[in-house]
Structure 1
Amino acid sequence: MVGSSNDFSPDSSGNQPKPDIWLCHQAGSAPGVAPDWLTFDERERLSGLSPARAAEFLTSRWLIRQALSRASAVQPGQCWPVQGRAIESASPPGWHLSLSHSNGLSACGTQYGSALGVDIEPSKRHPQWQKVVKRWFSPVEQEWLFQEDDPHAFLWAWTLKEAWLKATGRGIAGNLQTLEVRRNFELYGDQPDDYWQACAFYTEGFLCTLVFRQTESHQVGSWPAITLLEPPSEGYSLSAAESLDTHWEPMFQRRIRLKR
């Protein structure tokens, strides 16, 4: 099955909206003057970044506002994240956020009232993946990944772990094995409920993986809304961005069960 970003719009399953994923490509370099829509905290962080990192940071902060605006029907200028890590919205309140960026593409996941994590990687990125598996993966994961000897399978497993750690609010150090990816992508985590889900798809030459938590009423099977937005303008104007057509290829969707 192949989808288009124009085939989907945010909807609800039960009483809880399903997550959305918003994508955009980075536009050139950062302007010489910081946009006036940045918060004080964001301006402080921007001032300490290299030119390349500044453009990446601005793109992600611009995308947050566009994503919140589309998801909540509030103007982009009235949307901003909490200080520090952009894991929730400050205005409008109640939205959970997750950011990922790689090789000029940025992704922002949004979901109202419940946690989520998103990770993107170029679909051809898998240098020395065996060393990563030996050092950080569980014996069960090492066994089947080395038997498969497929760098794409490693990339799927790696992005699942990254998205899981973002969704559960933890860093990589000491936590990569809190989600175990078994053969055929059976997923087992350390969270005490059974409401966690994961899905992965290819788009724009990238693998995008989403982990999210929803209530018991949500049924596995519906995919998140996936929207590619036009890149920000040279001056990073906050006017509403138009949607662009993008095709995506779903890979898998799984429930994450409690590891025993």
Structure 2
Amino acid sequence: MAGSSNGYSPDGKPAIWLCHQTDGFGTRSPDWLSGYERDVLSRFSGPREREYLTSRWLIRQALSHSARLPAHQCRPVDGRPVLSGSPEGWHLSLSHSHGLSACATRAGSPVGVDLEPCTRHPQWQKVARRWFSPVEQEWLFREDDPNTFLKVWTLKEAWLKATGRGIAGNLQTLEVRKDFEIYGDQPEHDWQASCCYIEGYLATLVFRGPRPQWPDITLLEPPPWDFALVDAESMDASWEPLFQRTIRPKR
């Protein structure tokens, strides 16, 4: 089964917006950056600088397409970009890895996204032994599939982003059991997870909603060399759905 990347979701579905990192960067900071973003950007150079600018450019494009506003009117809050500063009411989540950036948007409720290359799983057994629960270790080691480990890892990352926590001390707040039966430490019964392949990456989304559903997924053209806030067009891309699950509260 495969889906096509698409655009604005009028029914309020969660959405994932992606773009590849651009190779260029002009001699000055784009004038659309906030003062806070300029301060952060000044600490970076080279690939890290381009990665940061690409992510900030993508946030504005994602909000522009989601809220149907010009990109120059859109910006995230200062600090960790989990909410939109303008327009208000949108929740955000950001991920970037090996040249691809992703921004998830959701109106009115939390969202978390994690993006990893499908080939990225060095020393996965060591990571699982240190950070995963005994239940997770048992079935993962028996299955012995690094791609399965990566799905569990992205679920945990997306969960922590959606619930507003960092990795340290929190990886076991979500337990993924065999066949991707998922339990979290939040009391609500409306947490959902979706996982798919796109562009050679594994993308996992966690959000709150009444039922599992696939997000709208859009691959946008990369930023121009000077990161001008042009109206980014969507590009052809196909994605392969893997699984949807409701995250149940731990008993």
Q: State the TM bucket, normalised to the shorter chain.
A: over 0.9
Query: Are 1:130 and 2:125 an aligned pair?
Result: yes
Assess if the C-alpha contact under 8 Å between 1:21 and 1:227 holds in 2. yes
Aligned partner of 2:9: which letter?
A: P
What corresponds to 2:163 in structure 1? 168
Deviations 1:45-87 (A, max 9, x none): 0001122111000000000000000000010000000001100
Aligned partner of 1:93: which letter?
A: E
What corresponds to 2:62 in structure 1? 67
- Normalising by structure 1, we get a TM-score of 0.95
Deviations 1:7-56 (A, max 9, x none): x64132xxxx1111000000014322000000000000000112211100
Within 1, Cα distance between the matches of 2:233 and 2:132? 41
In structure 1, the residue corresponding to 2:248 is in which secondary structure?
strand
How big is the shift at 1:223? 1.1
TM-align CA RMSD: 0.9
Within 2, Cα distance between the matches of 1:84 and 1:111? 19
Assess if the C-alpha contact under 8 Å between 1:29 and 1:51 holds in 2. no
Query: Are 1:91 and 2:86 an aligned pair?
Result: yes
What corresponds to 2:188 in structure 1? 193
Deviations 1:85-129 (A, max 9, x none): 100000000100000000000000000110010000000111100
Matches within 5 A, 1:42-191: 42-191=37-186
Deviations 1:166-222 (A, max 9, x none): 0000000000000000000000000011010001000100000000012xxx332x3
Deviations 1:142-165 (A, max 9, x none): 000000000000000000000000
Query: Are 1:2 and 2:2 an aligned pair?
Result: yes
In structure 2, the residue corresponding to 1:158 is in which secondary structure?
helix
Within 2, Cα distance between the matches of 1:139 and 1:11? 42
Aligned partner of 2:215: which letter?
A: P
The unaligned stretches of length 5 or more in structure 1 are none
- Normalising by structure 2, we get a TM-score of 0.98
Aligned partner of 2:101: which letter?
A: S
Within 1, Cα distance between the matches of 2:34 and 2:235? 28
Within 1, Cα distance between the matches of 2:106 and 2:140? 32
| Structure 1 residue ranges, 4+ long, deviating more than 6 angstroms after superposition | none
Indicate which of 210, 219, 226 corresponds to 2:211: 219
Aligned partner of 1:74: which letter?
A: L
Percent same amino acid at aligned positions?
64
Assess if the C-alpha contact under 8 Å between 1:27 and 1:234 holds in 2. yes
Assess if the C-alpha contact under 8 Å between 1:199 and 1:254 holds in 2. yes
What corresponds to 2:202 in structure 1? 207
Assess if the C-alpha contact under 8 Å between 1:194 and 1:258 holds in 2. yes
In structure 2, the residue corresponding to 1:257 is in which secondary structure?
strand
In structure 2, the residue corresponding to 1:62 is in which secondary structure?
helix
